[in-house]
Amino acid sequence: MIRRSTAPTLVDVAREAGVSLKTASRVLNNSSELNPATEKRVREAMARLDYRPNELARGLKARRSAAIGMIVPNLSDPFTASTLQAVLTVARARGYAVIFTSSSGDESLEKAELDLLVRRQIEGLIVAPALGKKNYFRSIVGTRLPIVAFDQFVSDKSIDCVTVNNREAARTAVEHLLTHGKKKILAVGVRPDIYTCVERVAGYCEAMAAEKLPERVLLVEDEKDLTPEAIGKFFRKKDAPDAIFSLNWVASMGTLRALRDLHGFGSMAFISFDDFELAEMLSPALTVVRQPSAEMGRIAAELLFERLTGGRTVRKNVVLSTEFHIRQSCGCS
Amino acid sequence: MIRRSTAPTLVDVAREAGVSLKTASRVLNNSSELNPATEKRVREAMARLDYRPNELARGLKARRSAAIGMIVPNLSDPFTASTLQAVLTVARARGYAVIFTSSSGDESLEKAELDLLVRRQIEGLIVAPALGKKNYFRSIVGTRLPIVAFDQFVSDKSIDCVTVNNREAARTAVEHLLTHGKKKILAVGVRPDIYTCVERVAGYCEAMAAEKLPERVLLVEDEKDLTPEAIGKFFRKKDAPDAIFSLNWVASMGTLRALRDLHGFGSMAFISFDDFELAEMLSPALTVVRQPSAEMGRIAAELLFERLTGGRTVRKNVVLSTEFHIRQSCGCS
DNA sequence: ATGAAAGCGCTAACAT
DNA sequence: ATGTTAGCGCTTTCAT
């Protein structure tokens, strides 16, 4: 048997099976109008040649890349990893590949990645937007590409959204601190512009305002600005906070690290928006607002495929509920 | 202007610019032999039409998909996320997309994913193999596809490898526990068959054997088998362990959770293979073996591109060093 | 139920 | 420096 330098094509399969190209193609696409005997011959030929269809060629002709794109701002966040895993699972079940990229929260990078994904003929996009300010997706991808945004609500009526009840959950968490008699609650967040941060701050403010308490907010542009100095500044005043509400995982990590350096964790009430492995192992065990991250990923993917299969044209805006996990750091024994 | 139902092609660009298709193609590929004025006209036409090259078509003709595949067994592990991020960064710089999938540590899933990636004409593969037993990659992907394995060494001489000094690092960690006078050290691991687990257990055994101490090993097939009962069994014997060496992040999480339920953490020496956020926040702060995960991802990607650009044909086997981070849980104050 | 021919959007000889 | 022609591997009319 002659070793070909290039992989076998459908033409090779057809020749091997003694049928026409079209018939081989029909087998590949599981066409119904086929003589079972013919089909068997073709399948045997495929197996014999170890034939793999070239998805690029299929996609080119059929205008169907069988790929979706996914863009997230921050991969280190366990929330993101969980979401991605869920998306992969749904996509696999549908026979779709996921072209995955990270924007690092950088708008220009996000735009560049978006452009590349479009060139690669993705059929749909799942995105956790890098910025909350305004939405430029449609100007880059055109009007035809189905898009699902998660984590962040976008106002564009052509984009499905999967978010959680950020504001309400934040308010509930802060109210819980208030019931423990805390009055000087500091909210700590990263990237003040993004949707989730804005919403959670709003929830915090609502709770504080209801008790006519002054707001204390520390919002930094970048994770690395969440230094012990930045946090410590609040504690060197004589009117130091008696509780901290951190607005996401990144903020929690930074704040906890800073508190450790300041020897302040353990002596202060703390609630984290976002749960994570070992939150319960800290002393005291961390009280958290948990987002259903896998659920968000699954639903985002399913919304996308609803559109891809043409089943739906009206926008869906799914808002999931968080769970408030009371452990000890809020002040509960 | 008439709204076309389909996206503009290079033919449209050529017509708009009043040049031939080939000239437009030359502009797209930054060919050198071009009249600057012509090039300008073409670029303007591209901009006017908002033209995006179809990468599927380019790849079909040029036999160059500009995509690599990446398969990992476990996405929730922060080690993996860090590696993926590094790979994405390198790939982006080269203009390559990453088609990412997770095998969930399942060999048959891994095979299926591999097959799909080949059909999508990936030009290279980065993989953290699901199993250590034997290597079947070449039988699925053929001999031509460059492959880099990371985390796990594979013997196939055509596959580059990026690993760490697992055995030595494990031995060093256990020796450190021994210097603290610990003699009844329990090694805890998940998935006994995989390469890293085997190597780390070997390092543990070397250190114990050097002191003529008996080995105590708890290896479970699945993460969920790392229950408080499974761990507790060792502590209900009268000859209970005085230290624990957990063999990776997953094992650390499971073991720490179990110890908390048993009220055993804090009273026992502990070293984790794999560092993670907040390891230093536990009480006592966790002593760990840290893998250079981002570095591993970066190097894996670079090795792959070395082969893709044709620069290298001999196999490289890169073994990176871990860092032993002594905090408190090992027994050091 | 099967086949012949055209062409998806692009690149690559081989012109000129 | 630019154009003509063919064809990547597949699907899709339109025949038969």
Q: Best residue in A109, A126, A277, A286 to probe B by mutation, most B CBs within 10 Å?
A: A277
- Helix/strand/coil for B315: coil
Residue A23 Cβ < 7 Å to strand C: yes
Does the CB of B92 have a partner CB in chain A at under 8 Å?
Answer: yes
pTM: 0.94
Chain A hits for B60, CB-CB cut-off 8 Å, are: 54, 56-57, 60
pLDDT digits (tens, 9 = 90+) for A174-213: 999 999 999 999 999 999 989 999 999 999 999 999 999 9
A253 to B97: CB separation less than 8 angstroms, yes or no? no
A102 to B88: CB separation less than 8 angstroms, yes or no? yes
Cα A127 to Cα A300: distance, rounded to the nearest angstrom: 9
Residue that has been written with the tokens 């893998």 in this structure = B291
- Specify the DSSP element, H or E, that contains B199: helix B195-210
pLDDT digits (tens, 9 = 90+) for A93-116: 999 999 999 999 889 999 999 999
Q: What is the pLDDT at residue A1? A: 30
Nearest protein residue by Cα to C1' of nucleotide D9: A57
* The pLDDT of residue A132 is above 70: no
DSSP conformation class of B224: G
- According to DSSP, the β-strands at B323-325 and B287-290 are antiparallel
Q: Is the peptide bond before B284 cis (omega within 30 degrees of 0)?
A: yes
Residues 248-267 of A with CB under 8 A from B: 253, 256-257, 260, 265
A278 to B121: CB separation less than 8 angstroms, yes or no? no
CA dihedral (A63, B65, A80, A114) in degrees, to 10, reads: -60
pLDDT digits (tens, 9 = 90+) for A71-80: 999 899 999 9
Residue B19 Cβ < 7 Å to strand D: yes
Q: What is the pLDDT at residue B71? A: 97
Q: How does residue B132 score in pLDDT terms, banded at 50, 70 and 90?
A: low
Chain B hits for A98, CB-CB cut-off 8 Å, are: 99-101
Does the CB of A276 have a partner CB in chain B at under 8 Å?
Answer: yes
Residue B56 Cβ < 7 Å to strand D: no
Cα B18 to Cα A124: distance, rounded to the nearest angstrom: 34
CA dihedral (A74, A79, A82, A87) in degrees, to 10, reads: -60
Chain A hits for B281, CB-CB cut-off 8 Å, are: 256-257, 260, 265, 282
Over chain B, what is the mean pLDDT? Answer: 92
